[in-house]
Structure 1
Amino acid sequence: MTELDLRVAATEATFARFDGQPLILGTTDCARMTAFHLKQLGFKASLLKGGAYTTPVGARRALKRLGVTSLAEIMDQHFPRWDAPAEARVGDICCVAGEGGMGDAMQVVLHRNNVLGFLDGVCGEIVNHQYTAAWRVL
């Protein structure tokens, strides 16, 4: 299996699991989606080691227990950052500014500017032109 095959298979599995799911903090949110995706690529994701949460305050506390203030900091600890997100490949993780004071929102790159992410409370394929960063995960 080539690297591209692995990236595509992991991305398809993540899309199948999260597409159409409602945003529920601690169950189906960008951290859980990213952790699931990284697991499909063979990584043990430390994103979930901060404990359970169901509210924005709880999510921030979980991050604090991990010694960080954002998901981007966790990604920076494990993967090279691409400050030119246009170079992101299928299966890479990108970041946008979150809504409602939640900080960074993670998305999985599908193709070109299309990503799997949450918009208006539902996960799905969206066009993203406002990346703040991206990480090469393989």
Structure 2
Amino acid sequence: MTPIEKRHQATTLTVEKYKVRAFRWGSCDCGKIAAFHARKFGWKVPKTGTYKSAIGAAKYLKSLGVETLPELLDQIGFAQIAPAAAMMGDFVSFASDDPIGGVGIVVGNGNMMAFHEAHATPVIMSMANIDRAWSILPVEIAHG
């Protein structure tokens, strides 16, 4: 399977699994979706904890030595890329009212899947306001 086919297959699986699930800290949030998605590409990511609130999620991140989800993506080892270079399946971050930050998954055509405070479930929205991006592909796959 080519990297593009893998991106499409895994991203479709992630979107299908989570698109109708309501936001709930510790069971369906940015971190849980990102961890599921990363595992589809062979990444070893920390267990996502048993928190039940924003305060619990922040404490869990602190126990891992970071304060935000973008910092956790850096710590795990995802390669940062230019936001304009983000492809289907890559991670992106954007401004969020929550101090731990917001992370989405690129679904293509300039859009990402992420949570938005106006919706109960993840939505497909424009990537117009992303500030950082990371490649989902492990370095050895991305660089051949």
For normalisation by structure 1, the TM-score amounts to 0.91
The count of residues paired between Structure 1 and Structure 2 equals: 134
Query: 1:95: which partner in 2?
Result: 93
Which of 59, 62, 67 is 1:69 aligned to? 67
Alpha-carbon displacement from aligned partner over 1:37-95 (angstroms, at most 9, x marks no partner)? 001111122262xx21111110100001001101111111211112x211101100001
Query: 1:108: which partner in 2?
Result: 105
- SS of match in other structure, 1:57: helix
Alpha-carbon displacement from aligned partner over 1:81-123 (angstroms, at most 9, x marks no partner)? 12x2111011000011222x33311100011321111122321
Q: In structure 1, list runs of 5 or more residues that go unmatched.
A: none
Q: In structure 2, list runs of 5 or more residues that go unmatched.
A: 138-144
- SS of match in other structure, 1:122: coil
Spell out the pairing of 1:46-57 with structure 2 (5 A cutoff).
Answer: 46=46, 48=48, 51-57=49-55
1: CA distance between counterparts of 2:111 and 2:47?
23
Query: 1:38: which partner in 2?
Result: 38
Most deviating of 114-123 and 27-36: 114-123
One-letter amino acid matched to 2:32: R
Query: 1:6: which partner in 2?
Result: 6
Query: 1:21: which partner in 2?
Result: 21
One-letter amino acid matched to 2:29: D
What's the RMSD between the two structures over aligned residues?
A: 1.3
Query: Given that residues 20 and 124 in structure 1 are in contact (C-alpha distance below 8 angstroms), is that contact kept between their aligned partners in structure 2?
Result: no
